[in-house]
Structure 1
Amino acid sequence: MTMSLKDRVAQAAGAAEEPQPEQTSTDIATRDDRLKWLNGHRTYFTDALPRHVDKAHFTAVALAQLPKLKNCTNQSIMTALLACARFGLEPDGRQAAIVPYKNTATFQPMYEGYIELMYRHPRVDSVHFNWIREKDAWDYTPSEPSPRDFYHKPRVDLSEEERGPVILAYAFAWIDGRRSQVIILNRSQAEKIRDKYSKSYAKAEREGSKDSTWHTDFDAMWAKSGVRRLVKVVPTSTELTELLQADDDADDLSTAPAVIRGTVVVREDQPDEGEQDTPAADWPQTAQPGSAAPEGDDSEAGDEG
């Protein structure tokens, strides 16, 4: 039956009067407010980026993380983004991740982030990380001279599933034309590192929340544990040492500092961009990867983890 124009108008009017879900409206408003706030403060983290990182791309990646951080405070989100910018790492889940712990957004470097900082040292030619699967051809004989001590040939004729489960993670670097020691880590060793050193894992176990990164992405933490061991055999830098310390501080959520060295924190009551020309006078100068520490800062870098 064809409806008359009058009936269609009445139907449309009735539909317009139907109440919309309040939660959806609230979520959209919260998201829009967060986008506005972050865009208004974006220069605080983009100005900290090293010159080789594209600011527009970094901002786009940062904005894409907001949905999962909807319960986190603006200040903790900005602090985490400043940490990413401080080290020149994108918060894409590969170089670095911003992990929500209740209402706190926490900066967490990933294994590709460590590799990125290793590459920046002029003596490092290349850095390699890979997985060995059950059916791969491989051999490791520590008594043999480099590079004959290690061999890995993946089964390229098979899919990852057909190659079997992962049994080892390994990493090495080429430095001044010579290969470094090969770091090899099996699953059991990764679990021991987790159980001995990760405070966030222990806390999640005690609380029964099972929400630490060791719980949600074990392989990523396994990979990072192997690459972190490689840090001990490659030429180090201030940034790499500070990244290790920031990583350890982030894992120890009860004592993690509000400010990671070389960054500043945007206070909740800080005016939006355009309302003041310069940051508050008591904020520390922002340092960029590869630069010296701000003048007058004679604090020591954190120990290796």
Structure 2
Amino acid sequence: MSLKDRVAEATSGADDQEPQQPAADLAVNDTARQWLQRRQTYFTDALPRHVDKAHFTAVALAAMEKLKDCTPASINTALLACARFGLEPDGRQAAIVPYRGVATFQPMYEGYIELMYRHPRVDSVHFGWIRGKDQWDYTPTEPSPRDFYHKPRVDLSEDERGPVILAYAFAWIDGRRSQVIILNRDQATKIRDKYSKAYKNAERKGTKDSAWHTDFDAMWAKSAVRRLVKVVPTSTELAELTQADDDLDDTQAAPPIIRGTVIARDDQPEHGERQAPAASWPKTAQPGTAAHGTDGSEAGEQQ
């Protein structure tokens, strides 16, 4: 049978069939990879211009493997958050963390640094760990840059250098170095105990599954860099990321409100209960319509 005949046979009786749904709504039985591929333009439309779209899509595809048990609506929200800030979900700039069936956008300390770099006055940003046998000194009364000194023991392995005792961060702004932010483990613990509602909630429930429980060092590092945010030139984008991070901690795993973006708290269950995975993938706008949110609302509208 020729190709022409096979096509004719396959399309015969089409008039008697029910109209097909748009491609954007045919993802119920798709794999996560197929779902993302169908919507890659929808997400990449939200990316800042300097971010490579193909690379972002490749990193997002790799991240999808561990999200197969998460609700599609939460995956949609988390990926859109990454795209909105131009942060790759690679576990370094940002992570998409599965938590009780919900995919959760989690900015990492390198994500904060990436947004700092985008300010035209910021020349560079530095973060580091000081270990027990490293050479270092900090004298706040000395003028910059003589007030801080760190020389790692490159002749030793990390284990031989001893345990981490300090996290530090600073930036060079208009050719001058900023204040050095130094945070020890005890200070990080106090920040956790005082400010993290997610940690307190996990302790109270006995689940011990907050980010502070599962990766203390990552949260320690982010706490140091977040303090640096207060002494560098800020931007709307950086302020929004900080607010999104705070919203995430307030709700533990519910999709956060991202001020000035299309992300909203959709279908959040009451009393802190988590919903079971949805039966179908969420409807999305067609590629090229990034001005609309996942629920059809205009970008920038707060829910």
In the other structure, the counterpart of 2:167 is 169
The gaps in structure 2 that reach 5 residues or longer are 1-27, 267-280
Where in structure 1 are there 5+ consecutive unaligned residues? 1-29, 286-293, 300-305
Aligned to 2:275: none
Query: What's the offset of the Cα at 1:265?
Result: 5.2
Q: What do residues 84-130 of structure 1 show as CA deviations (whole Å, max 9, x unaligned)?
A: 11110000010001112212111111000000000011111110000
Write the mapping of 1:51-62 to structure 2, written as runs, cut at 5 A.
51-62=49-60
Structure 2 residue aligned with 1:244: 242
TM-score, structure 2 as length reference: 0.78
Q: Distance in 2 between matches of 1:277 and 1:86?
A: 10
- Structure number with greater CO (CA < 8 Å, separation at least 6) is 2
Structure 1 residue aligned with 2:283: 270
Matched, 1:284 2:282: no
Q: Which residue of structure 1 aligns with residue 36 of structure 2?
A: 38
d(CA) in 1 for partners of 2:260 and 2:54?
A: 22
Distance 1:272 1:243 in 2: 24
Give the structure 2 partner of residue 142 of structure 1: 140
Change (3 A) 1:74 1:265: farther
Q: Deviations over 1:231-283 (max 9, x none)?
A: 00000000000000000001111695654234335985526857x99958942
Compared CA separation, residues 178 and 241, structure 1 to 2 (3 A): same
The aligned residue for residue 4 of structure 2 is: none
After superposition, the CA RMSD in angstroms is 2.7
Provide the C-alpha distance between the structure 2 equivalents of 1:185 and 1:259, rounded to a whole number of angstroms: 29
Q: Which residue of 2 aligns with 1:222?
A: 220
Q: Is the 8 A contact 1:114 1:240 kept in 2?
A: yes
Query: Relative to structure 1, is the Cα distance of residues 116 and 265 closer, same or farther in structure 2, using a 3 angstrom cutoff?
Result: closer
Q: Secondary structure at the match of 2:156?
A: coil
Q: Paired residue for 1:120? A: 118
> Is 1:103 aligned with 2:101?
yes
* Structure 1 segment 252-267 matched on structure 2, within 5 A: 252-253=250-251, 259-264=257-262
* Aligned equivalent of 2:80, options 79, 82, 89: 82
| Kept in 1: contact 2:115–2:237 (CA 8 A) | yes
Amino acid at match of 1:261: R
The equivalent residue for 2:207 is 209
Q: For 1:269 and 1:257, locate their aligned partners in 2 and report how far apart those are by CA, in whole Å.
A: 14
Residue 156 of structure 2 is matched in structure 1 by: 158
- The whole-number CA distance in structure 2 between the counterparts of 1:271 and 1:155 is 52
**SS of the residue aligned with 1:252?**
helix
Q: 1:132 aligns with which of 126, 130, 133?
A: 130
CA distance in 2, matches of 1:196, 1:188: 12
Number of residue equivalences: 259
Identity %: 75
Q: 1:39: Cα distance to partner?
A: 1.8
Match for residue 65 of structure 2 among 64, 67, 78? 67
Query: 2-side partners of 1:271 and 1:171: how far apart?
Result: 40
**How high is the TM-score relative to the length of structure 1?**
0.78
Within the candidate set 188, 194, 197, 2:195 is matched to: 197
Alpha-carbon offset, residue 32 of structure 1: 5.1
Distance 1:255 1:150, change over 3 A: same
Whole-angstrom CA distance in 2 between matches of 1:272 and 1:123 = 37
Q: 1:243 to 1:279 in 2, by over 3 A?
A: closer
In 2: Cα distance, 1:39 partner to 1:265 partner: 20
Structure 2 CA distance for partners of 1:243 and 1:271, relative to 1, 3 Å: closer
Question: Contact 1:79/1:259 (CA < 8 Å) preserved in 2?
Answer: no
SS at match of 2:124: strand
Q: Which runs of 4+ in 1 moved over 3 A?
A: 254-259, 265-269, 271-274, 276-282
Amino acid of the residue matched to residue 283 of structure 2? Q
Give the residue type in structure 1 aligned to 2:151: K
Compared with structure 1, are the counterparts of its residues 181 and 38 closer, same or farther at alpha carbon in structure 2 (3 Å cutoff)? Answer: same
Asked whether the 8 Å contact 1:140–1:149 carries over to 2, the reply is yes
Contact 1:31 1:70 in 2 (8 A): no
Equivalent residues of 1:81, 1:107 under 8 A apart: yes
